Amino acid sequence: MLNRYHQEEAQAFIDSHPGMHPDLAMRVYTSRLIGCESELVLHGGGNTSVKATVDNLFGEPMEVLFIKGSGWDLATIEAAGFPGLDLAYLRRLRRLESLGDEEMVNQFRTHLLDASSPNPSIETLVHAFLPHRFIDHTHADAIVTLTNQPEADRLLREALGDKIGILPFIMPGFPLAKAMAELLERQPEMEYLILKNHGIFTFGDTGRQAYDRMIEAVSRAECYIATALTAQGSPRGRVMPAVDGAVVLPMLRGALALPGDLRPQRVCLHLRRTEAVLAQLARPDAETLFSTGVLTPDHVIRVKNHPLFLDCAAVTDEDALREMIANAVRAYGERYNRYFDEQVAARSGTYTRLDALPRVVLIPGLGIVGVGTSGKAAGVAADIAEHTLAAKIGAAAVGSYRELDAGLIFAMEYWSLEQAKLGKGKPLPLAGKAALVTGGGGAIAVGIGRQLLAAGARVFLTDIDAKRLAVVQQGLAARFGGERVSALVMDVTDAASVAAGMRQVIEAVGGLDILVPNAGIAHVATLAELDENRFRQVLEVNLVGVFQVIKAAVPIFKRQGTGGHVIINSSKNVFDPGAAFGAYSASKAGAHQLGKIAALELAGIGVRVNMINPDAVFDAEEVSSGLWDVIGPDRMRSRNLDPAGLKEYYRQRNLLKTEVLADHVGNAVVFFASEQTPTTGATLPVDGGIAAAFPR
């Protein structure tokens, strides 16, 4: 592993933060060096600290422990991510015979220097009880690989030398802190302290010394494993036929749908398909080796203890494949429930059963599939799984991988302090659902996308105009996060382009729940003057485009078996057309009629199809309306109005005398998608009340 410390860079960082305590600045600098290595820490794992002397309000010197706060990522941590605590008081806690977890956390909160600080790490007492100024702790893959072995002590000493201390796994908290302090007092010469099945602690009088020791220890472990892998050689892998993710992933996503109060709650999938992963899953011992438990108990709250291994390459019949996947998920749940029942029976206390779904699915010929209630959670699961596969291969080379005791796993999985990391709260109405919105570069798409995202959906915007699409995507990403909204350049009139776009959505999240055909163009001309080619062009986008995307979505909905939504952006013109607007009005009426047919045909698979009829949505903050860019000048000329006057004209012509906004259309989409009423085949006007456009 590369040592990234540079003295000049470290000093420059300290100098650039003159208001920060120099020791804390050094702590931030070396913590970021650790955090940028995924082989050391992964998604919040590990922690670092520094002990410093600062003046209190009375100007008196005070010993303070600055330690990583929960929720902060070491790769990007700032000084605010290191809450300061009264070190002298924390050290006094060592005199106690016992200290419960909740009371320990209470002591942390009541002895912070700043009450607004984040919660200190649950391993704060370890850092407080050890005497060193700088302490680094990671869950390094290479170290954990050596500890998950029947002969772990021997392997660790061969790899790292004699200046190490080794402890069996102990749950983080007061007992671990006391055990580590006592071991260090017995072995004051140690440079590395290994907690089996958990990770490594290094320490020093300076930030550089602690960091150098971390990199040195992990590098030694990596070299030791690499030597064993070279000596073993690569096993001949099976010849695996490619598995079609467009078929398998929606089926898997449907089988994994969480049961809800009234309807299944969707999950997001994250496909990790690299050459290395495919080769690993093609190993002859893949199922035996990779179906074992997690590398460290910390991972269990994100990925469960075991993955689901799904070898489905030989099954080509779709019905048989769907049944195989459903049975595999069902069997996994039954095993998890037996584990829960056995562990509860063996201990006192009351426990609330968590869901019994896998968080990692390994599919030879396809790759790693991470599972989560959000795209981010699914990505985290895939990251952990990718590291785990490589570590288990290394473990097999140096010895044999030994998974952790089920009791330890249960204690961590159902530990209140660990569960707190995941956060609680009522899920948003569209959490876990994937939505595709065509015409994504237009003003109405801004409102639809914004409201879908606010309701918890994962959103894909498509458009043929890459520049306008990028503007909308970037605007929404700035508010909701780039990982939640994607832009796909797609031509709704081209079946191949639509199929490619749908495949991208499937590979990104596993399937589709909400389809919003929203793409539309306009042309102003009387029937006598209407050019046939322009008429056909409008029909292609506004009518054929709706047909193409609905047709492409139907197989996905069927494979998932969890229903879905098609919500067509029609137009007030369906019921109240305008002169010189024949191409647009006819195409929208056709799309509207297609929606009604789709409602009849798709109800049997639980898919609801509804229409929204907006009127006069001019623009959004991010982008203008392409439709009004075309027809606006004609409307202003015919009424002798400027842009502001045109908006006022349309506001005054509806019954409610209100302006219709893109977000109003978005609200209507969310209303249908959140299934607040058992409705399909309906038309919802979003027009302020146009009597001539009342549905009838």
Contacts of 549 (CB under 8 A, 6+ apart): 436, 438, 492, 498, 515, 517
Say how many C-beta atoms besides its own lie within 10 A of residue 82's C-beta.
Answer: 26
Cα dihedral value 372, 378, 380, 382, nearest 10 = 120
Residue 640 within a domain: no
- 294 and 196 part of one domain: no
Query: Residues of the chain with pLDDT > 70: what percent?
Result: 97
CA distances from 432 to 179, 358, 566 (A): 42, 16, 17
Residue 646 within a domain: no
- Whether the per-residue pLDDT at 391 is higher than 70: the answer is yes
- Whether the per-residue pLDDT at 261 is higher than 70: the answer is no
Query: In terms of DSSP bridges, do strands 199-204 and 192-195 run parallel, antiparallel, or are they unpaired?
Result: antiparallel
- Nearest CA to 110 out of 124, 96, 98 is that of 124
- 293 and 147 part of one domain: no
pLDDT band (50, 70, 90) for residue 369:
very high
- Residue 260 confidence (pLDDT): 65
Q: Which of 223-227, 413-417, 611-615 has the lowest mean pLDDT?
A: 413-417
- 202 and 73 part of one domain: yes
Tokens of residue 497, six digits: 């382009």
What is the distance between the alpha carbons of residues 344 and 352, in angstroms, rounded to a whole number? Answer: 10
Contact (Cβ atoms closer than 8 angstroms) between residue 111 and residue 86 = yes
pTM: predicted TM-score of the whole model, two decimal places = 0.92
- The amino acid present at 559, given as its one-letter code, is R
Q: Is 242 exposed, middle or buried (0-12, 13-18, 19+ CB in 10 A)?
A: exposed
- 165 and 64 part of one domain: yes
- Residue 635 confidence (pLDDT): 72
pLDDT band (50, 70, 90) for residue 625:
confident
- Residue 423 confidence (pLDDT): 56
Rounded to the nearest 10 degrees, what angle do helices 22-35 and 207-232 cross at?
Answer: 10
CA distances from 172 to 201, 407, 411, 503 (A): 13, 15, 11, 44
Specify the 3-state DSSP secondary structure of 114: coil
Say how many C-beta atoms besides its own lie within 10 A of residue 425's C-beta.
Answer: 5
- 360 and 405 part of one domain: yes
- 153 and 257 part of one domain: no
CA distances from 597 to 534, 550, 591, 682 (A): 26, 11, 10, 12
Last residue of a domain, one of 394, 422, 450: 422
Q: Which of 82-86, 141-145, 321-325, 648-652 has the lowest mean pLDDT?
A: 648-652
Number of domains in the chain: 3
Give the residues across from 164 on adjacent strands: 192
Rounded mean pLDDT, 300-312 = 95
- 223 and 250 part of one domain: no
- 295 and 442 part of one domain: no
Query: Residues of the chain with pLDDT > 90: what percent?
Result: 86
Give the domain CATH number at 497.
3.40.50.720
Contact (Cβ atoms closer than 8 angstroms) between residue 556 and residue 502 = yes
Last residue of a domain, one of 373, 397, 422: 422
Last residue of a domain, one of 232, 260, 285: 232
Q: Which of 290-304, 413-427, 604-618, 639-653 has the lowest mean pLDDT?
A: 413-427
Specify the 3-state DSSP secondary structure of 612: strand
- 362 and 477 part of one domain: no
Tokens of residue 683, six digits: 């038309």
Contact (Cβ atoms closer than 8 angstroms) between residue 67 and residue 51 = no
- Whether the per-residue pLDDT at 662 is higher than 80: the answer is yes
List phi, psi (to 5°) of 614: -85, 165
What is the distance between the alpha carbons of residues 567 and 517, in angstroms, rounded to a whole number? Answer: 7
Tokens of residue 664, six digits: 């109003």
Contact (Cβ atoms closer than 8 angstroms) between residue 347 and residue 356 = no
Residue 183 within a domain: yes
Annotated catalytic residue within 29, 339, 401, 584: 584
* Three-class HEC string of 365-402: CCEEEEEECCHHHHHHHHHHHHHHHHHHHHHHHHCCCC
Give exposure, 225-240, as e/b (b: 16+ Cβ within 10 Å): beebeeeeeeeeeeeb
pLDDT band (50, 70, 90) for residue 254:
very high
pLDDT band (50, 70, 90) for residue 43:
confident
Residue 472 within a domain: yes
* Domain region containing 349: 245-422
What is the distance between the alpha carbons of residues 376 and 385, in angstroms, rounded to a whole number? Answer: 14
Helix (H) or strand (E) holding 165: strand 164-167
- Residue 574 confidence (pLDDT): 95
- 305 and 228 part of one domain: no
What is the distance between the alpha carbons of residues 446 and 475, in angstroms, rounded to a whole number? Answer: 9
- Whether the per-residue pLDDT at 110 is higher than 60: the answer is yes
- Whether the per-residue pLDDT at 67 is higher than 60: the answer is yes
What is the distance between the alpha carbons of residues 292 and 389, in angstroms, rounded to a whole number? Answer: 10
- Nearest CA to 301 out of 195, 204, 419, 193 is that of 419
pLDDT band (50, 70, 90) for residue 192:
very high
Give the domain CATH number at 254.
3.40.225
Rounded mean pLDDT, 567-592 = 95
- Residue 418 confidence (pLDDT): 64
List phi, psi (to 5°) of 185: -70, -30
Rounded mean pLDDT, 460-488 = 96
Say how many C-beta atoms besides its own lie within 10 A of residue 562's C-beta.
Answer: 22
- Residue 314 confidence (pLDDT): 86
State the sign of the Cα–Cα–Cα–Cα dihedral 244, 245, 250, 253.
Answer: positive
- 85 and 123 part of one domain: yes
Does residue 584 have an active-site annotation? yes
What is the distance between the alpha carbons of residues 679 and 670, in angstroms, rounded to a whole number? Answer: 13
What is the distance between the alpha carbons of residues 499 and 7, in angstroms, rounded to a whole number? Answer: 53
Contact (Cβ atoms closer than 8 angstroms) between residue 546 and residue 517 = yes
- Whether the per-residue pLDDT at 422 is higher than 60: the answer is no
- Whether the per-residue pLDDT at 450 is higher than 60: the answer is yes
List phi, psi (to 5°) of 461: -105, 135
The alpha carbon of 174 is separated from its chain's Cα centroid by a whole number of angstroms, namely 32
Residue 327 within a domain: yes
- Whether the per-residue pLDDT at 49 is higher than 90: the answer is yes
- Residue 424 confidence (pLDDT): 60
Residue owning tokens 């924390």: 90
Q: Measure CA of the first residue to CA of the last residue in the chain; give whole Å.
A: 71
- 165 and 296 part of one domain: no
Q: Is 330 exposed, middle or buried (0-12, 13-18, 19+ CB in 10 A)?
A: exposed
Task: Read off the pLDDT of residues 486-540 as tens digits, 9 standing for 90 and up.
Answer: 999 999 999 999 999 999 999 999 999 999 999 999 998 999 999 999 999 999 9
- The amino acid present at 232, given as its one-letter code, is Q
Say how many C-beta atoms besides its own lie within 10 A of residue 247's C-beta.
Answer: 18
Contact (Cβ atoms closer than 8 angstroms) between residue 158 and residue 236 = no
Rounded mean pLDDT, 650-659 = 93
- Whether the per-residue pLDDT at 44 is higher than 80: the answer is no
Give the domain CATH number at 218.
3.40.225.10
Task: Read off the pLDDT of residues 91-109 as tens digits, 9 standing for 90 and up.
Answer: 999 999 999 999 999 999 9
What is the distance between the alpha carbons of residues 415 and 101, in angstroms, rounded to a whole number? Answer: 10
Task: Read off the pLDDT of residues 135-162 as tens digits, 9 standing for 90 and up.
Answer: 999 999 999 999 999 999 999 999 999 9
Q: In whole numbers, what is the pLDDT of the chain averaged over residues?
A: 94
Residue 653 within a domain: no
pLDDT band (50, 70, 90) for residue 628:
low
